[in-house]
Every structure is written in C-alpha cells, then in structure tokens.
Amino acid sequence: MTLLRHLAAAIVAGAVIWAASVQLSAFRDFQMAQIAVYVVAIAGLSILIGLSGQISIGNGAFMAVGAYATALLMTHLNWPWWAVFLASPAVAAVAGAVVGLAAARLHGPYLAGATLMLAVALPSLANQFPGVFGGDQGLSVNVFPPASLGANFPQTRWLAWICALAALVTLVILANLGRSRVGRNWRAIRDDPVAAALAGLPVGRLRVLAFVMSAACAGLAGAMLAVTTSLVSPGSFTLSLSIALLAGAVLGGLGTLLGALWGALVIVLVPTYVTDVATSHGFSGGVAANIPIAAYGVVLIVVILIFPQGIQGGLRRLAKQFLPTPPTLGSPGRRPPVSEDVGPDSPYRRPPVSEHQEEGTS
Amino acid sequence: MKRSFSLRLPVVAAAVTAASLVAAGCGSSSSGGSGGAAASVPGITKTQILIGSHQPLTGPAAPGYSEIAPAANAYFQYVNAHGGIYGRKIKYTYLDDGYDPAKTTSVVHQLVLQDNVFAIFNGLGTPTHLAVVKYLNSAKVPDLFIASGCDCWDNPSTYPYSFGWQLDYIREGKILGAYIKQHFAGKKIGYFFQNDEFGQDGVKGLDMEIPHSQVVSRQSYVPTNVNIGPAVAALKASGAQVVVSFSIPAFTALLKLTALKLGWNPTFVVSDVGSDPITLAGLLEAFAKKGGATVQGNQLTQGIITDGYLPTLGNTGNSWIALFKKVHDTYDAKAPFDGNVLYGEAVAYAFVQAMVKAGKNPTRAGVVKAIEGGLSQGASVAPYDYSATDHGGIMGAFIGVIQNGAIVQQGPVWTTDTTPSGAVTPFTGTQPAAPASGMP
C-alpha cells in the first residue's frame, strides 16, 4: 500500500516537473538537473546520519566513484544513460560496502576522520593513474536527447528529465526503505545500539547496510553530476563537495527527504542568485567573488540558530504552532517527530539513569 | 519521521522546485533563444557587446590568476572610454568557478543561456575549460582566446568556435629544447615536470628537439604532494648537469631549495609558467623561512634560463609595456603590475582586434571568420598562427635569463609549430609598435 501511494505521488510529481521543464528557460532546466543531483546525494547522506546514526564526510568520494564508473562505462562500452544510472550506484555500493565494513566498528569523530580521509585520498587516485582516469583533465561524458524528440530539442531539458526521473525513483525507494522494517531497525540501533543488540538486531550488519545504501545514492548522484557537467575530473570532487553535502543535509533537516530538497535548493540557487545580485550592484571583483561563499555561510548560521533541526524541522515547528490540529499531549503511542529524534552522539540523548544501575544490569 | 514519508512528499518536492525556479527565473524565461527575433545577435545591442568568462576568483588557483580578468576588464574600460568598438561598449561578466569543472559548467550555462553573452572570452584552466568546450561548440558560441596552453583547443574540425591564444606547451618545449640542444651539447639532461597535460605536453616538445641519449632522468610531481625530495635526489644521482623544469612557481622554488639542500647546483631551465622572477623570489624566501633558513630570493633565481612570449615587464622602452602600464595605472591600480596583469591586458587587446575585424554588424560566425582570416601581431613578441586550419595562437617566444630579479632577453625570438618535424626558426620580423591611440 505504502509503495503504491509513493508511486502515485511520484507520478504526479513527475508530471509537475515535466510541465515546469517545458515552460522554463533552458538555464532553469539545467538548474533543475543540478538540484536533482544534490537531492539524491543529500538524501542518501541524510538517511545515513538521521536514521542509522552514522556520519560520513566521505560521500563526495562515493560520488567520484559513481562519476568515474559512468565515464568509463560510457566511453569504453557505450552504455546508454539508463544502464549507467543503474550500474554506477552498484559500483559505488561495492565501494561503500568495503568502507562500511570498517566503518561499522567506528563511532563519532573516528568515523568522521576515516571518511574524511576517503574524501581527500580517493579523488587523487585519478592523478596517480592518468592512463585510466585521464588525470587532471578528466574524462568527458556526453548525453544527448534521443533523435525521436527532434533535432532542436534542448539538451538541458533532457538532462532535467533524466535527472528528475532518477531523483524521483530514489526518493520513492528511500521513502519505502525508511518505513520498512529496515528503517525501523536503523532507528533502533541509532537510539540505543546496546538495547537493539539485546533485542536480537544485527547492529554491525545494519550499519554496513546503511553505509552501502548511502554510497549507492552518492554513486547515482555522481553519475548524474557526470552527465550534467559533461566532464569527470578530480577537481569536481574536492573535500568541499563532501562538506557541502553534509551542510546541505544539516541545513535541510537530518533524516528527512524533504529536508534533502531544501538543502539542494540552497546549495544550487543561493550562489547563483547572490552572484547575480553582487555583480549587478557593482561590487569590485575580489568582493563580488567572495560574496556567494559568505552568503552561504550566513544562511547556514542563521538557519542553525533559528531552526536547530534544519529548515524542515523549523517548518514543522511553525506548522505545529499555526495549524488547527495540535497533537494532544501524552497521546499514547505517538512518537515525537523526527526533528526531536536524537542520534547516539546528540547531547539530547537520554543518559543511562545511573552508573550504578547500568552496572547492576550485567 | 512518519510525516516526512507521507503521500504528499514527492508532490510537494516537485511543486517547491518548480515554484522556486519560476520565482528565480522571473523575467528570464523567454531567453531560450528559439523564439527571439531572427535578426538579433545574442549579447550585441546598439550600445553594448556582452561577453562572459569563467575564472578562478577563489580557490586553489586564485592567487595570481584572479588578477587576470580584472586586468582584461581594465583594458576594456580604456576602450570604452575611447569610443568603444564601433560605438559599442564592452561589458565583461566574469564569474567564479573556483577551478572546479562542475562549477565551470554551471556558470557557463548561466552566461550562455541566461545572460545571453555574445562569446566566452579567456576561460581559464585546462580541466575547467574542457568541461565546457563541447557545449560551447554545439551551441555555436565563440570560445575565444582560452587561458590555457593546452594544444587541445587547436582542433578546428572538432571545435570550430574555439581559439587558443597563449604559446602552447608543445611549442614552448620545442623552443627550450632547441636552445638546450645547441648550448648544452653532450651534457647530461634531467627532466622535472608536473604530471598533467602541462608538464607532459612540455616534455613532448622537449623530446622533439633534445636527443634521447642525452636525457638521463625523467622525474615528475603532482601539485598536491610537496614531497619532491626523492625526485630531486634521483635527478642528482643521475648526474644531470642541466635540469629542465615544467613546473608551477611553487614547485620551481621547491626544486631549487631541495637541490640547494643536497649541495647540487645544475643549470636550471624553467618554463614561462613557473619562472616569473618576482613570484619566485617571494616563494623562495617564504619557503626557506618556514624551514628556518634565510635566503636572498633574487640571488637564487640568478641564471635561471626561461622563455617569454610577451615583452618583459622591465623593458619600459617597449611601447606595449608603456601602454599597458598606463591602462593599469588608470583602471586597475590596486593590483601589482606583474605578469598576470600584463597577460590579461594583452589578451583583451586581441579580443578588441577580433571584434574590430568582425565589422560594424558582428555575428558569432562572423567573429570566428574574422579571426580565421588572421590577426595582426599585437602585444606578443611572435605573430599568431590563426587560419581556417589553425586555432592555436601565438607561435613563438624568446629565450631569457633571469638577472638580478628580471628576465633579460637572449638572442632572437624563435617560432615553430607543434609537429615533430617542424623546425625552430628565428623570427625575422619585428614587433610592431603599439598604436598611439592604444586601440587596434
């Protein structure tokens, strides 16, 4: 049932996107494709952090894996875009499984450190093996609209279509996964791994699974980035990409799929909009160049100050205040909304009642 | 969590995306091009020529390179103040790509599709520009005077709208190689190069001139790893008496300091990119200070052999240096008058030349045709190779030696092509003086 509802909703969403893409200019179509890329990447990361309680500063590296897989499959085997969109996440998932096996044993800052290393080291492999990966110049990727759409069909609209399709499919899968037993188990190991283990949940395996799923999303996002950028090179997968994904996930609201959309909108639209404003108001070159970065920082600070649970958490709080159906206090069985859910490292996490008690349980 | 996975999620998501794009796109949704008036040329009005560029204004490549676009703009302001091009003023919009190809794609799409620029001018960087060169050519947007010495742009059958400008690294390698072959016959030669198209193309050019038996060691580096100790030790162990270095300034300085530490003092031959004496001296002193030593930068650069395709900055008698210094002092005085500024103004001059040649009613195809008809030699010491089959750019350079912190030209200007068989020959013409008006 849930699956059917999500599918129906996705089809409606697809129709809205299709209508918008036809109406909007070529550049807006291009931005739509870019937003789709970041929605997929951030959603994968947000689910990893928000549901399974693990952190990754290395998802930019998994994007690189997906992007290079795309470039190699398209260049050497002439695979079509849809096949590549299926294969690239699979390749990234394998990489995610390898990292996840190690990561499942690490927590908090150690996990952050390990994945940080991945983000720094992996893309520079392209420079070590320039024969395969094209070195600094990278590999080119070209996706053109099928001839059946006519010779003058804008390429950017086609990119918007295939990227939006990929994003919608991803969102449906993630939405179902989040509501399935796997999703509930992830929340259990996030909230209290010891209790989850006592209840018979395979904590390690669940953690690896979350990592694999997150890497697959990043791999798909990498494939989408490759076709929108039409080039795959190490310069696109710097540490700042991984940090931007993390910032987008936090900004939007961890663990929520709508939050991933907010994060993607901020990452894609804020710099373009601010650049337009900065250049049209005649700031000097050095100042204008740094304004988008500063504006991004300001947005990040303001959102975290006003909405510590991200934009989605903030909207929910506002909705709660203004909508006519406030939840009845203490209604049985009602879980607090996700914005108040806490990860294992959150300061809000309930501490063990007392050390004595904990000892007493053994 | 329950609510975020509700029925409405994807619909809300789509509606929000569409709404924000529509909001952001107010007023520009008609700029797709297909519905516009047939006679109008994108970016050209009666009073203005709008051009755009992608530049590393922030990020790893920004120091130095971020001076180029403001310097070019300074020259455009000079032209605008003196009547413009057939009455049209140049508006130059250069956007920051942080040297990230993904961002380059984004800003170039913005410039072409949203701002409707006439041409992309002087887009900077090989990996960055490679991300957009196919797009620009399929959209038939002139891609003029790319700021990269890769010879990949010189491919008129694949990229009819793209033109290089600066001396490419293969030609540069050949010119340096020919000098080494003549002046260091029988000596042992070592190569030190950046392991990307810049260094590899340079080595390609060197190998076309220097006999292979003379080359005793080939060592490369990547810009992200500053530990070049083993590479320098291997060069020293090979007994090389001359080291040719295709390196960026920071690695030229590291090479010199590491050799100094090993007590090794070969003759250094360094490519134009990595040999600006002012930059080098500063880096040498800064690096040595970090290591707890004090050195005189200008003493260490003394005697380095290099090449140049623009007049030397110290040559104040040159009419081009005088013109560009004047423009710089009026419109871009905050920046130092260094090699990057000179480069920016010189390439801007070439753009104005091309637009003047394209005539009173310029079109995108028209400006390509104008450049293919050949541009007369401007600020560069050697002429351009532009024709229907050559989109390369400047054909040659002089050999120079750094003396007391300035490059001093040695002998004639040399020209060549990018083929293994093409000879390196002295340029017999003389550089024309800059026009008195300062405009082509």
In CATH, B39-167+313-394 is 3.40.50.2300: yes
Question: pLDDT grade, residue A343 (50/70/90)?
Answer: very low
Shortest CA gap B322–chain A (Å)? 25
Shortest CA gap B429–chain A (Å)? 36
Residue B71 to residues A334, B2, B336: CA-CA distances in angstroms?
64, 56, 10
Q: For an interface test with A, which of B9, B91, B331 has the most A Cβ atoms less than 10 Å from its Cβ?
A: B9
Q: Which of B16-25, B119-128, B259-268, B371-380 has the lowest mean pLDDT?
A: B16-25
In a domain, A186, yes or no: yes
Return the percent helix, strand and coil in chain A, to nearest 5: 75, 0, 20
Residue A26 to residues B32, B33, B341: CA-CA distances in angstroms?
6, 9, 35
- List, by residue range, all CATH 3.40.50.2300 domains of chain B: 39-167+313-394, 170-308
Question: pLDDT grade, residue A260 (50/70/90)?
Answer: very high
Contact between A265 and A316 (Cβ < 8 Å):
no
| Number of neighbours of residue B187 by Cβ within 10 angstroms | 15
Cβ distance A289 to B134 less than 8 Å, yes or no, reads no
Q: How many domains does chain A have?
A: 1
Question: pLDDT grade, residue A330 (50/70/90)?
Answer: very low
Query: Which residues span the domain enclosing A98?
Result: 2-238
Average pLDDT of every residue of chain A: 84
In a domain, A257, yes or no: no
Cβ distance B2 to A23 less than 8 Å, yes or no, reads no
Shortest CA gap B8–chain A (Å)? 6
Shortest CA gap A272–chain B (Å)? 8
Q: What is the mean pLDDT of residues A168-187?
A: 93
In a domain, A187, yes or no: yes
Q: What does the pLDDT read at residue B278?
A: 83
Cβ distance A28 to B25 less than 8 Å, yes or no, reads yes
Cβ distance B10 to A9 less than 8 Å, yes or no, reads yes
In a domain, A168, yes or no: yes
Q: What does the pLDDT read at residue B415?
A: 95
For chains A and B, CB pairs below 8 A equal 213
Of residues B18 and A211, which shows the higher confidence score?
A211
Pick among 3.30.720.110, 3.40.50.2300, 3.40.50.11720, 3.20.20.140: CATH of B170-308: 3.40.50.2300
Is the minimum CB–CB distance between B237 and chain A shorter than 8 Å? no
Average pLDDT of every residue of chain B: 89
- Chain B CB contacts of A259 under 8 Å are 4
Question: pLDDT grade, residue A356 (50/70/90)?
Answer: very low
Shortest CA gap A356–chain B (Å)? 34
In a domain, A285, yes or no: no
Question: pLDDT grade, residue A246 (50/70/90)?
Answer: very high
Q: For an interface test with B, which of A46, A186, A258 has the most B Cβ atoms less than 10 Å from its Cβ?
A: A258
Question: pLDDT grade, residue A87 (50/70/90)?
Answer: very high
What is the ipTM score, two decimals?
A: 0.76
In a domain, A232, yes or no: yes
Relative orientation angle of helices B68-81 and B339-358, to the nearest 10 degrees? 50
Q: What is the mean pLDDT of residues A55-68?
A: 94
Q: Residue written as tokens 């002012």?
A: B278
Question: pLDDT grade, residue B51 (50/70/90)?
Answer: very high
Relative orientation angle of helices B229-237 and B249-261, to the nearest 10 degrees? 60
Whether B126 has a pLDDT exceeding 90, the answer reads no
Q: Which of A98-107, A209-218, B97-106, B158-167 has the lowest mean pLDDT?
A: A98-107
Whether A338 has a pLDDT exceeding 50, the answer reads no
Of residues B164 and B99, which shows the higher confidence score?
B164
Q: Which residue of B has its CA nearest to A17?
A: B14
Question: pLDDT grade, residue A304 (50/70/90)?
Answer: confident
Is the minimum CB–CB distance between A340 and chain B shorter than 8 Å? no
Q: What does the pLDDT read at residue B12?
A: 60
Q: Is the dihedral of CA A265, A268, A272, A277 positive or negative?
A: positive
Of residues B379 and B11, which shows the higher confidence score?
B379
Binding-face residues of B in 301-320 toward A, CB within 8 A? none
- Chain B CB contacts of A28 under 8 Å are 21-22, 24-25, 28-29
